[in-house]
Amino acid sequence: MAKPEKQAHEPLIHIVKRITGIPAWQAWLIRIASVVAALLVSAVVTVLLTGENPLSVYKTMIEGAIGTERRIWNLAQNLAMLLSVSLAVTPAFRMRFWNIGAEGQVLIGGLATASCMILLGNKLPTPVLFVVMIAASIVAGAVWGVIPAFFKANWNTNETLFTLMMNYIAIQIVSYFCYIWSNPKGSGAIGVINLNTQIGWLPAIGNQKYLLNILIVAILTAVMYVYLRFSKHGYEIAVVGESENTARYIGINVKKVIIRTMILSGALCGVAGLLLVSGTDHTISRATAGGRGFTAIMVSWLAKFNPLYMILTSFILVFLQKGASEISTKFGLNDAFSEIITGIIIFFIIGSEFFINYSVRFRESKKGGQEK
């Protein structure tokens, strides 16, 4: 006798992608709720691990980020530097070209700037030197960005692995020149470039040495918003990102768009390297980018590739980083605890995007207790 077939049961939980999306106010309400939930979980973790008052910990976090005028300027500078790299990767990400190589592109741009400061600092007038520095950093970053784009456009190579590997090449190139130009010789560190003359240093405005950096990044943010939102190039980037076949059908040269966009992305990374070397650190090392190339991925993604929203996401991440560092210092805790708190908050913020893009539905039951 044939065995009776078992009745298939629907799963208890259905995860369904939202087709039309949700209103913007609901999306922000979910994000705010995720931050509140993160703070509550962090409070519990704080009590369990340290026994400290969570309110005191959060107060310290705020003071560590914006407690003094100097800390506010420092936060603004770090926000600007992270935002500049985030702006650089956004055109490529909007095109669905996963540029994981911003770290290397920033380093190469910074190395070009440092080269000009070291080799040409005493040979060119200051205005000419700045022009050469700007041009060199832009070209260097653009070249480092266009290499993987050329291979992707012509042979469909994996841009994620390609750009990632180029990070390590850039790090080793920078390490080599740090040894060649090391001061003192053989130390492997360049030290502050042109410390006595400050040749090649971006000038301070109103006694604020970071203000020019911040203004430049603010201008780049506005320009990038207009470029992506209202220009023909921005439209082509969006179409290629949605479907390369559709882009080809309507007459868009996909190869040209890929190469052009990565030239732009690399060039902006080069500008970020210029700002870091000439306007912030006044030196170059393999740690100059400071992981911003990878953090920028999160900033751009959380902001839905919108340059204006990236100001907020950059602020949140930099605020957490500065505040967590102060927690470790004041309460005598190691860096691991501050990273735990930061990780919890970031996890909840990223997790909120799931509930914005998907809905969770439970299995319904028929009358009489029978399942559908």
Per-residue pLDDT tens over the stretch 204-238: 998 888 999 999 999 999 999 999 999 999 999 99
Reply yes or no on whether the pLDDT at 371 is more than 90. no
Confidence of residue 53 (pLDDT cuts 50, 70, 90): confident
Minimal CA–CA distance to 60: which of 341, 348, 312? 341
- Minimum mean pLDDT range among 10-14, 149-153, 339-343: 10-14
69-94 and 254-276 are packed helices; what angle lies between their axes, rounded to 10 degrees?
160
What mean pLDDT is predicted for residues 49-78?
89
Domain spans in the chain, listed from the N-terminal domain onward = 80-319
Backbone angles phi, psi at 38, to 5 degrees: -65, -40
Residue 8, pLDDT score: 58
Which residues, 6+ apart, have CB-to-CB distance to 141 below 8 Å? Answer: 105, 106, 108, 109, 112, 266, 267, 268, 269, 270, 271, 272, 273
pTM over 0.85: yes
Look-up: residue for tokens 């920033």? 106
Confidence of residue 330 (pLDDT cuts 50, 70, 90): confident
Reply yes or no on whether the pLDDT at 12 is more than 90. no
- How does pLDDT run across 97-134, given as a tens digit for each residue? 999 999 999 999 999 999 999 999 999 999 999 999 99
Residue 372, pLDDT score: 46
**233: how many CB neighbours lie within 10 A of its CB?**
14
- How does pLDDT run across 231-273, given as a tens digit for each residue? 999 999 999 999 999 999 999 999 999 999 999 999 999 999 9
Residue 181, pLDDT score: 93
Quote helix, strand, coil % in the chain, to nearest 5: 70, 5, 25
The gap from C-alpha 139 to its chain's centroid, in whole angstroms, comes to 21
Higher-pLDDT residue of 372 and 141 is 141
Confidence of residue 2 (pLDDT cuts 50, 70, 90): low
Cα torsion for 339, 214, 301, 23, to the nearest 10°? 110
- Minimum mean pLDDT range among 12-16, 32-36, 52-56, 224-228: 12-16
